[in-house]
């Protein structure tokens, strides 16, 4: 019973911890995640010290973490103690487990896996918006089995690697205005930061734990943000364009150790084209051709610069540059809204007349409605108000 309660607590902490890096609505978290091994059966074995080596680097334009976790085990006994454990990882591969340099990856009874899975799935159903555990198919469960032998250095080691992936913004749910209107040429704006989780909580299934020493290496050009924690000591070194950070936990051990690698900030986007149509009265017809650039201030606000040419193919020819701060597309129903000001330049009898344009935009992804009010003081024209509907790409 004690063991079942402990596993339940660990499972719940797995779920809660994975939610610690929430994003703006409409984001799917795709963190790399590993953790200390869970001891499936009760044991009197303690982890006197743990060394965790995390080496981050880039391979094929993706961030990769090679990890090595070393556990020094101790037990006040003169008898051999059998140990059964489970190692969990998300987006982890090439997992190898060694005890005293011997390979100890082991197939554990599927019924034990099922008990743990059932506990985790039960909690997942209560938190069905937890995107980390919705990716259950990629969760690695590696069994380990060995015999602790007294009067010798008993060392457990786990190695492997994780390929980090950016979080993704769901197209059509909460999408920045630039990406919603021009998804084909601005796909990179849908990606957010890359997240790495290390769950320390599972180590609580052992009898006790001593000091934990984490060594993190990453290129100087990367911008990591570490989760809030209170280590006993921290040390930062730099050599050969690589930053090495030493973090030691002794008195207080956090439940989770998180590194958030910020995506390189990109403020200017190429945007895309737009085609609009306008009906004047009952018969006059006009079209708009243009291109929209974008300045990204975050998912909640973009400034779109629209450069348009408008014509009715006879007497009406006009160029206009407009700056339009725009909100995101919040769902399939609620449109993106933009309001801005521009400078129209109308050509009449080979002369150019300038004025002021007030413009509001309503956008549902690729479909857009634009309301324009043009004021050109030197021209006495009938149609200062021009409404366009059209498509962007």
Task: Kindly give the pairing relationship between strand 46-59 and strand 209-219.
Answer: parallel
3-state secondary structure the chain: CHHHHHHHHHHHHHHHHHCCCCCCCCEECCCEEEECCEECCCCCCEEEEEEEEEEEEEECCEEEEEEEEEEEEECCCCCCEEEEEEEEEECEEEEEEEECCEECECCCCHHHHHHHHHHHHHHHHHCCCCHHHHCHHHEEEEEEEEEECCCCCEEEEEEEEEECCEEEECCCCCECHHHHHCCCCCHHHHEEEEEEEEECHHHHHCCCEEEEEEEEEEECCCCEEECCCCCCEEEEEEECCEEEEEEEECCCCCCEEEEEECCCCCCEEEEEEEEEEEEECCCEEEEEEEEEEEEECCCCCEEEEEEEEEECCCCCEEEEEEEEEECCECCCCCCEEEEEEEEEEEEECCEEEECEEEEEEEEECCEEEEEEEEECCCCCCCCCEEEEEEEEC
Q: What is the pLDDT of residue 22?
A: 25
pLDDT along the chain (393 residues), means of 10: 44 36 34 77 86 94 92 90 82 89 80 59 44 55 87 91 71 68 71 76 84 93 80 81 90 82 77 85 76 83 93 86 91 85 90 92 91 84 70 82
User: Could you tell me the end-to-end alpha-carbon distance of the chain, in angstroms, rounded to an integer?
Assistant: 60
Q: What is the pLDDT of residue 126?
A: 46
- Residues near 13 by beta carbon (within 8 Å), at least 6 away in sequence: 199, 201, 255
Given this structure, which CATH class describes domain 2-261? Answer: mainly beta
Q: What is the pLDDT of residue 128?
A: 40
C-beta atoms surrounding 313 within 10 Å: 9
State the Cα–Cα distance between residues 208 and 214, nearest whole angstrom. Answer: 18
pTM higher than 0.85: no
CATH 2.40.160 for the 268-392 domain, yes or no = yes
- Domain extents for the chain? 2-261, 268-392
Q: What is the pLDDT of residue 393?
A: 76
- Quick one: tokens of 159? 């190695």
Give the residue from 170, 393, 366 showing the smallest Cα distance to 270: 393
State the Cα–Cα distance between residues 18 and 258, nearest whole angstrom. Answer: 10
CA distances from 135 to 28, 29, 156, 195, 321 (A): 10, 10, 28, 15, 45
Q: What is the pLDDT of residue 159?
A: 95
- Quick one: tokens of 222? 């990367």
Give the residue from 134, 132, 102 showing the smallest Cα distance to 35: 132
């Amino acid at each position: 019973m004690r063991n079942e309660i402990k596993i339940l607590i660990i499972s719940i902490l797995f779920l809660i911890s994975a939610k610690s890096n929430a994003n703006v609505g409409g984001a799917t978290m795709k963190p790399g995640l590993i953790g200390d091994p869970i001891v499936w059966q009760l044991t009197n074995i303690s982890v006197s010290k743990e060394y965790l080596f995390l080496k981050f680097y880039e391979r094929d334009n993706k961030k990769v973490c090679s990890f090595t976790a070393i556990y020094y085990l101790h037990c006040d006994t003169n008898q051999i103690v059998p140990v059964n454990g489970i190692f969990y990882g998300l987006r982890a591969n090439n997992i190898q487990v060694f005890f005293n340099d011997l390979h100890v990856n082991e197939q554990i009874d599927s019924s034990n896996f099922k008990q743990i899975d059932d506990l985790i799935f039960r909690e997942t159903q209560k938190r069905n918006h937890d995107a980390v555990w919705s990716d259950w198919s990629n969760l690695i469960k590696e069994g380990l089995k060995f015999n602790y032998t007294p009067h010798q250095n008993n060392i457990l080691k786990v190695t492997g690697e994780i390929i980090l992936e950016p979080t993704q913004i769901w197209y059509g749910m909460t999408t920045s205005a630039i990406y919603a209107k021009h998804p084909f040429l601005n796909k990179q704006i849908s990606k957010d930061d890359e997240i790495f989780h290390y769950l320390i909580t599972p180590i609580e299934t052992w009898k006790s734990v001593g000091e934990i020493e984490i060594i993190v290496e990453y290129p100087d050009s990367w911008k990591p943000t570490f989760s809030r924690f209170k280590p006993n000591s921290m040390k930062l070194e730099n050599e050969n364009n690589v930053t090495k950070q030493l973090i030691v936990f002794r008195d207080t051990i956090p439940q989770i150790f998180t590194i958030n690698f910020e995506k390189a900030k990109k403020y200017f986007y190429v945007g895309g084209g737009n085609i609009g149509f306008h009906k004047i009265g009952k018969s006059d017809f006009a079209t708009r051709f243009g291109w929209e650039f974008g300045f990204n201030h975050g998912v909640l606000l973009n400034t779109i610069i629209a450069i348009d040419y408008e014509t009715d193919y006879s007497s009406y020819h006009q160029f206009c540059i407009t700056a339009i701060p725009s909100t995101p597309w919040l769902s399939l129903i609620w449109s993106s809204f933009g309001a801005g000001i521009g400078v129209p330049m109308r050509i009449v009898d080979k002369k150019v007349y300038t004025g002021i344009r007030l413009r509001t935009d309503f956008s549902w992804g690729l479909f857009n409605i634009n309301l324009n009010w043009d004021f050109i003081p030197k021209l006495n024209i009938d149609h200062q108000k021009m409404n366009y509907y059209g498509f962007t790409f």
